Amino acid sequence: MTGGLRDLSPAQCLTLLRSVRVGRVGVSIEGLPAILPVNFLVLGGSIVFRSAPGAKLEAASGGAIVAFEADSYAADGAWGWSVLVRGAMSEITRDPAFQSTRVELLRAWPFPEGGADRIVRIEPSSVSGKGFGVALRALAPAES
């Protein structure tokens, strides 16, 4: 144990999000919460992932506020962090900024499985995170 959780800045949160490939989208399905894993990218400050027609895409079309979470931790519990993003979800259709080869990477990754060929984004309205242990040192280098 390493002495409790520390709050992370939004910039630290985005740095950490770029270091992992799987996050989880929290949506409401028939009034009840559900959590769905997705492979994602951080592009232009947005969280970008694939979606199939269904709950996530319905939320996207309605501009609903959704939650997005990613985390990482040491197997022995020596360090860990988690980031929570909230924002409106929308489908990306024509924006050329999101037609990059990096977006093509999403198609090669497994989550979500099946015919999830639409690309959606979450534009963050809030970004917060917490972490503990040595992993955070790299995010806050000493001033020289």
Partner 1 sequence: MGLQILSREECLERLEHAVVGRIGYVVDGIPVIVPVNFAVLGESIVFCTMRGSKLSWLSNRSRVAFEVDESRPSDRTGWSVLVRGSAHEVTDPEELDALRRGPLSSWAHPSPEHWIRISADEVSGRALSQP
Residues found near partner 1 in the complex (CB under 8 A) = 1, 4-5, 21-22, 24, 26-28, 32-37, 39, 65-69, 71, 73, 77, 80, 82, 84, 86, 108-111, 113-114, 130, 132
Closest CA to 56 of 98, 28, 31, 85: 28
Nearer to partner 1, 36 or 139 (CB): 36
Distance CA 103, CA 78 (A): 34
Compute how many other C-beta atoms are within 10 angstroms of the C-beta atom of residue 113: 9
Shortest reach from residue 130's CB to partner 1, in Å: 7
Nearer to partner 1, 39 or 46 (CB): 39
Nearer to partner 1, 35 or 97 (CB): 35
Distance CA 57, CA 2 (A): 40
